[in-house]
Amino acid sequence: MSETVKQTIDMLEMLPDHEQNLALEIVKRLVLAWDPDFTKLTPEERRHLESAENGEYFDLENIDWDNVDSD
């Protein structure tokens, strides 16, 4: 997670719940404007994809499923 994302999360946590929901909707609109079909890869996703294409893979036993983002 980048420092910018961490700072954004910290700032959002200061807001009241109803304002957090508004901020979430704004972020959703920004993401949709950037990638309307959710087809672009983040830099981390690109690294994972390139690793997989080069024969590298993740062992399922090494994945911490309790901390996997499900966004």
Collapsing DSSP to helix, strand or coil, 66 comes out as helix
The whole-angstrom separation of Cα 22 and Cα 31 is 14
Which tens digit of pLDDT belongs to each residue from 19-50? Answer: 999 999 999 899 889 888 878 888 888 888 88
pTM: 0.51
Domain containing 52: what range? 3-57
Assigned domain for 8 exists: yes
> Number of folded domains in the chain?
1
Assigned domain for 63 exists: no
Q: Tell me the H-state helices in 1-71.
A: 3-14, 17-34, 43-53
pLDDT of 65 > 70? The answer is yes
Assigned domain for 15 exists: yes
